[in-house]
Amino acid sequence: MWERIMGITVIDPDGWDRKNLDEDWAKPLTFDEFYDKATESTVDRPMGERNESRIMARLNIVSYV
């Protein structure tokens, strides 16, 4: 869910439990949990989305829907 909302793709999930990846990946996460795991991982994001305030603005828009 957070990948879609943030417009990123996790390419190498280093932030997730590699020994139990399928189970860990399937767990529902809060935004903070996802953010912590994603920042430890290799992700692909659209050009120009390096600015965290743009990502946060996108999340604020989604939270009101």
d(CA 46, CA 44): 7
Tens digits of per-residue pLDDT, 45-60? 766 555 555 555 555 5
Q: In terms of pTM, does the model score above 0.85?
A: no
Which residues, listed in sequence order, are joined to residue 44 by a DSSP beta bridge?
9
pLDDT score at 61: 47
- Given a contact cutoff of 8 angstroms between Cβ atoms, the answer to whether 41 and 12 are in contact is yes
63 pLDDT band (50/70/90 cuts)?
very low
For the chain, the domains span 2-63
Tens digits of per-residue pLDDT, 6-37? 788 888 888 999 899 999 999 999 888 988 89
Is pLDDT above 60 for 2?
A: yes
Token duo for residue 21: 């990846």
The kind and range of the H/E element at 38 are helix 31-39
